[in-house]
Each structure stands twice: as C-alpha cells, then as structure tokens.
Amino acid sequence: MQFFENLGKKVGEAAQAAAKKSSELVEITKLNASINSEEDKIQKLYSQIGKTIFENFEQTGTADDAVKEACVQITEHMANIKAYREKIAELKGIKSCINCGAEMERTQLFCGKCGTKNELPQDDTAAPAAEQPAKPTCPSCNAEVGEGAAFCTNCGTKL
C-alpha cells in the first residue's frame, strides 16, 4: 500500500515539474514573440528615419531634428528587447559572462571559456544539478568542468 502512495507522490511531483517547465517554455515563447515584434517596429522606424532624412534633405539640405522622435522610439524598443532577453536568460537559468559574453549557468562563479570571475546573482538559490556520468574534473579543486572548457568554472584555474 505504501508503494502505491509513494508512486502516486512521485507521479504528482513529476507532473508538477513538467507543468512548471511547460509554463516556462510558454513564457519564453511569448517573450521571443515580443522580441520579434519589437524588432519589426525598429525596422519600420529605420525605414521612416531614412525616408524622413531623404525628404528633408531633398527640401532643405539638412536633417538633424527631423528624426529625433523615431530615434527615441528605437531606443525604447531596444531597451524592451534587452529586458525580454534578460527574462529569457533568467527563466533558462543562464547568464552571460561579463568579459566574453559566453553563455553560462547562473550558479557558475568563473567563465568556462575565458576564466573571468562573474558574481553570482543575489537571488539565485538554484539547487545543485543532478548527478551525471563522469565528467572531466579540475586538477586544482576537483570540480566538474564542461567538455572543452579552457578554465574551471569553480576556481578559475586554466585547464
């Protein structure tokens, strides 16, 4: 009887985990759609800038203040895209290296590509990853390192 209770509990936990992943994927899809929408708006504004500059140039020979509003709007759309990309990275549990921009897990302290120390996010309370088959380890601290990593992500030692 206890076997069935444990089985039911495990199935319920697996269903909850699957539902969470599914909702994260839906959120990522929505954010990617928002990014595409913002990029389309930018392209239209770029076209508007070009047309405005040309018309102004045709009429007056100058074009400085005529494009300010479109430039302000482009800046706003670019800020939106940055925010959406940060949200996607947060949902995926990744961050970019502050030095080389390489994608890395949010819990890593050192970049596996360039070795630069990256601070951990203040709110990151991610649980350690599940055990996987034997991976290469750092000769200095014995931490697991990714395939092809040039630096240990735990201590920064060059591999």
**Residue 109 clears pLDDT 60, i.e. is over it:** yes
Q: Are residues 84 and 69 in the same domain?
A: yes
Are both 100 and 159 inside the same structural domain?
yes
Across 25-48, b (16+ Cβ under 10 Å) vs e yields: eeeeeebeeebeebeebbeebeee
User: 12 and 34: one domain?
Assistant: yes
> What pTM was computed for the model?
0.47
What range does the domain containing 10 cover? Answer: 2-92
Which of the residue ranges 66-70, 75-79, 100-104, 128-132 would you say has the lowest mean pLDDT? 128-132
Residues 109 and 70 in one domain: no
Whole-number Å distance between alpha carbons of 128 and 72 = 43
- Give 131's pLDDT tier (boundaries 50, 70, 90): very low
CA 5 to the chain's CA centroid: 39
- 81 shares its domain with 149: no
Portion of the chain with pLDDT greater than 70, in percent: 87
| % of the chain exceeding 90 in pLDDT | 38
Say whether both 45 and 57 belong to one domain: yes
Q: Do 95 and 80 touch, CB atoms closer than 8 A?
A: no
Taking all residues of the chain, what is their mean pLDDT, rounded to a whole number?
84
Q: What are 70's two structure tokens?
A: 């479109």
Q: Specify whether 55 is located in the same domain as 76.
A: yes
Domain assignment present for residue 150? The answer is yes
Residue 31 located in a structural domain: yes
- Inform me whether the pLDDT recorded for 71 exceeds 70: yes
